[in-house]
Structure 1
Amino acid sequence: MELGSVLHFLENRSILVTGATGFLAKIFTEKILRAQPNVKKLYLLLRAADSKSAMLRFNTEVISKDLFRILKEKWGVNLNSLISEKVIIVPGDITCESLGVKDLNLLEEMFKEVDVVVNLAATTNFDERYDVALGINTFGAKHVLDFAKNCAKLKIPADMVVNAIVVAMVAHANQPNESIYHVGSSVSNPVEFTWLQDYGYQYFTKHPWINKDGKPVIVGKVTVLNTMASFRRYMAVRYLLPLKGLQIVNAACCQYFRGTYLDLYRKIKFVMRLIDLYGPYLFFKGVYDDLNTEKLRRSVRESSADADIFYFDPKIINWDDYFMDTHIPGVVKHVFK
């Protein structure tokens, strides 16, 4: 496939993004505004009852995030003007007809102006004018890319996922698209699950987390069970047998330990229910074939002048550096509060 310039494709095009306050959608918005400020319009669909509440969500949940720091530094006091000119906040609900947009004038404007619909929401109900059955709508040159359903978000930095989304958007312009892109590292640059535990242990040993009492949290290595059978054996020996013993003692002591027994029984039963639910994911042994994504990477390398701007090859990632210097520090900064 011939890509040409990705930046040129984005210039003077209007894009509708669903799920605009979501994780990937925020990164997508920042990337477009930073890499191609000459985009015509970005219509950002947010779940909200009216324009005022939608704008409040946009300001508090999107633009105020540290993600937009570089954009703010680049544009300074002119950032508000850029956003006012390029970004249209659309209050609506993706589960409703016509995306729940109540402003009929805005809805008609979107139908006339939107060139690309990028679905980054978990659930979307497009009507006949936004038909995503084949990943392309009935507007001829305009097209819908349903990334929420057709793109696997696996172990890979999110900016690479967004770069892949943008490139796929350009690659499949004006043509039906039934391709599924697994944007991940499981084939090209695999990450073992046990590495994550090792990275966490190394990081918090070197940089102890201080709890609310001002004391460092001591971390240790834990036993990782690789099969459901080994987990059930561990639970039986470590918890179920002692619980059975407590049940016998409780009966002999005229239900003296009944409260303790019931509390432990409920906790163990809860854990077992969680394992039954998540076991297929925890012990999943498959890998995701990223052949389609590799073809997309090859195309952007060979035929686009913007390959470096929209780079998404996981083979370049040094996982030691990524987890120790970027991922875990980011989790500590933005999640541990």
Structure 2
Amino acid sequence: MIFPRIHGATAASSHELSPRVASPAVYADIPWDKSFTYLKYSNRCRKSCIKAQSNMNPIPNASLSKQKDPINIYGPSAMKTMPATITPPNDMFLEQESGHGIGIVEFLAGKNYFVTGATGLLAKGKCHRRASFSVCLILSIHGHRMSTVFIEKVLRMSPDVGKIYVLIRAKDEETAVHRLKEEVIDCEVFQHQRRQYGDKYEEFMLGKLFPVVGDIGEPNLGIGRSEVMNRIIDEVDVFVNSAANTVLDERYDISLNMNTSATLRALELAKQCKKLRIFLHVSTAYVNGTRQGILPEKHFEMGQSITAEKSISNGRPLPPPLNVHEEIRFAKHIVDNVPESEAAQKMKEVGMARATFFGWQNTYQFTKAMAEMVVHEHRGEVPVVIVRPGVIEGTFQEPFPGWIQGNRVLEPVIITYGKGRLPGALADPEVVLDIVPLDVVVNTMVASMVKHGKYPKPGLHVYHATSSTVNPCTMYDLFRSFYLHFASSPMKDAKGNDVLVEEVKFFDSVDEYQAHAEKDVLQKGMIESGITDPKAKPVNGLERKYKRVVESITHLGKLYEPYFFNKVRFDNSNTEELIKEMSGEERKGFRVDMKGIDWEDYFVNIHIPGVRKHVLKKPIVSHGRA
């Protein structure tokens, strides 16, 4: 075969495929005039976030300012204690109870499940500490443990389920049981089950959860014991595939293996299951890459690429067709022909270059899109549901508000800002960031799998677990909420003093953003060193001391740049139809609708307190909460 050339691919594609200059073509089957009906929600947060809530301390009046820069920067991105429960306005969006609904609880009972992704942190970032300041460089956009929350939800709503087989990477069964207990059974999300079963909690859990020694990166998912494989094939009704490598710029070969090939392996095992009713695959709404406009709930087909779509609309020559299997062979060819010492860096560069060339923003998006392609190509007669979440954040209500695990997605930005080290944002304040609480994603998974698994038919159905069309949250809304929280409940510095935060300035230039960060970090560093005269020159070595801090902040900005400037909305017509089919009781017990979520309230009173409690391990006591 002739392997495609990589040299020059990034440079040739970066300007054309930048999310800020991409074609405005709409890749949806809905007319633009309908899109305006969604915009009626877009200013609600902005209007309400001008005033602090009545239970908060007075906040200085100041308006956010936008630092404008006419120069576009192109090129691929470097790429309290428990908060009070927010009572949702159930009556506001629920219709009267009509009929039986989907029959979710009835379906769950007695079924056997196979679940991937319930153990292990799927993406770990490196935390660089310099000058008594840390900023975690997390390269994950979907890192929450959805499978664990999925298991909790199923067990809580239907404790009489059959077996839940949990794939666990371990050297032997003893290690697998240990990891199951440590990473799943001991997880704090199972508060309800602990209260319900008391001293018999672990006995109940071990009676439902069965660890399976395996590895999604290996043939047959690494399941070596034939008797275990036979039990899975004979008993499993529902196959849930949510394991993935979520590092945005991972090595191309690793990302292809863990995201694309592993999905095919999971599907092939599911196809062998004699009682299989549904194969549920968790993707991401951001498989849409550099597309713009309102994007539909449509799967990818083999050979499809975003660059080809844009070439057709612009009348340009078509690029070579995207062939997943050729990409896998291409990655292996490179690994086999470069020195081992250079392989890691080379494969990262190749992954980002191939992603950019075909129209995606990073390797993660690209390989997840190719996973959808192989699902469509190889599903055969298997009923398939693909759930695409937006940017997943902490739980809204279940099993309790504010649960989150790991410093990922928006958490590095929140923590860095709360420490007073992020006064600027490399973002467009008008851009809508598609936020979705973790429990809403899980509810969408459960409801959609039941809808298509109750009376299974061959087919593939896509559901967006997203908010951008029904309840938009702009970057302005987001950072304003950060300010409202930390101005009222500040973090403490190393000396125990309150950290004062400023309202952010927005930058659309990497150079301006970096210059602002350098100035801010140096000024604060001088103050920390006891230099209060603003005209004084930096102490010898102080600039070098904080250089790494500035580099970390700049890298953080570049990392999120594709998402913070991406003018895209995700249509969720299929999800809206799903909600209509649910009974009133099901809509309460399995909340999928996000129209009633107040984003300011969510971030100020639920999510950020959850980050401080569960990630930083420093719960706050404020607003009269114990």
What TM bracket, shorter-length normalisation? 0.7 to 0.9
Equivalences for 1:163-242 in 2 at 5 Å? 163-173=443-453, 174-225=456-507, 227=508, 230-233=509-512, 235=514
- SS of residue matched to 1:9: helix
How many Å separate the matches in 2 of 1:117 and 1:159?
19
Range moving further from structure 2, 275-284 or 10-19? 275-284
Contact 2:102/2:583 (CA < 8 Å) preserved in 1? no
Deviating above 4 A after TM superposition, structure 1's stretches of 4 or more consecutive aligned residues are: 126-129, 138-141, 233-240, 259-278
Compare the two structures and name the one with the higher helix fraction: 1
Shift of the 215–235 alpha-carbon distance from structure 1 to 2, 3 Å rule, reads closer
Q: Deviations over 1:44-74 (max 9, x none)?
A: 1122221222222222222222211122112
Cα deviation for residue 263 of structure 1 reads 8.4
Whether contact under 8 Å (1:98, 1:127) holds in the other structure is no
After superposition, the C-alpha distances for 1:60-118 in whole angstroms (9 at most, x for unaligned) are 22222221112211221222221122110112101111211122211111111111100
Q: In the alignment, is the contact (CA less than 8 A) between 1:42 and 1:88 conserved in 2? A: yes
User: Take 2:265 and 2:550, find their aligned partners in 1: how far apart are those partners?
Assistant: 49
How many pairs are equivalent?
Answer: 312
What secondary structure sits across from 2:589 in the alignment? coil
Aligned to 1:255: none
Show structure 2 runs of 5+ residues with no match. 1-99, 120-143, 245-257, 284-367, 369-385, 391-434, 520-540, 618-626
Given the superposition, is the C-alpha separation of residues 238 and 71 from structure 1 closer, same or farther in structure 2, using an over 3 Å criterion?
A: closer
One-letter amino acid matched to 1:291: S
Mapped pair 1:137 → 2:271? yes
Distance of 2:194 and 2:553 partners within structure 1: 45
- Choose from 92, 116, 121 the match for 2:243: 121
RMSD: 3.0
1:146 to 1:129, Cα distance in 2 relative to 1, 3 A: closer
CA contact (8 A) 2:185 2:202 kept: no
Identity of aligned residues (%): 33
Secondary structure class of the residue paired with 2:115: strand
Question: What is the rounded CA distance, in whole Å, between the counterparts of 2:184 and 2:514 in structure 1?
Answer: 43
Q: Is the 8 A contact 2:117 2:242 kept in 1?
A: yes
User: What SS does the aligned partner of 1:16 have?
Assistant: strand
CA 1:264–1:86: 2 relative to 1, 3 Å: closer
Whether the 8 Å contact between 2:443 and 2:591 is mirrored in structure 1 is yes
| Aligned equivalent of 2:442, options 156, 162, 170 | 162
How many angstroms apart in 2 are the aligned matches of 1:89 and 1:224?
Answer: 48
Q: Secondary structure at the match of 2:571?
A: coil
Distance 2:515 2:495 in 1: 35
Q: CA deviation at 1:212?
A: 3.9
In the alignment, which residue of structure 1 is the partner of 2:209? Answer: 87
Shift of 1:184: 1.3
Matched, 1:146 2:285: no
The answer on whether the counterparts of 1:12 and 1:38 sit within 8 Å (CA) in structure 2 is yes
CA contact (8 A) 2:114 2:164 kept: yes
Q: Name the amino acid aligned to 1:313.
A: D
Instruction: Specify whether residues 210 and 144 from structure 1 end up closer, same or farther in structure 2 by C-alpha distance, changes over 3 A only.
Output: same
Deviation of residue 295 (structure 1)?
Answer: 1.3
TM superposition shift of 1:276 = 5.6
Higher relative contact order structure (alpha carbons within 8 Å, sequence separation ≥ 6): 2
**Change in 2 beyond 3 A, CA 1:57/1:212:** farther
Whole-angstrom CA distance in 1 between matches of 2:164 and 2:211: 8
> How many angstroms apart in 2 are the aligned matches of 1:25 and 1:73?
21
TM-score, normalised via structure 1 length: 0.81
| Cα distance in 2 for residues equivalent to 1:34 and 1:163 | 13
TM-score normalised by structure 2 residue count: 0.46
SS at match of 2:583: helix
- Compare 268-277 and 281-290 and name the one that shifted more: 268-277
**Alpha-carbon separation, structure 2, partners of 1:103 and 1:69:** 34
Change (3 A) 1:311 1:264: closer
AA in 1 matched with 2:601? D
Q: Deviations over 1:223-279 (max 9, x none)?
A: 112x3xx44355578869xxxxxxxxxxxxxxxxxx999888888778767666643
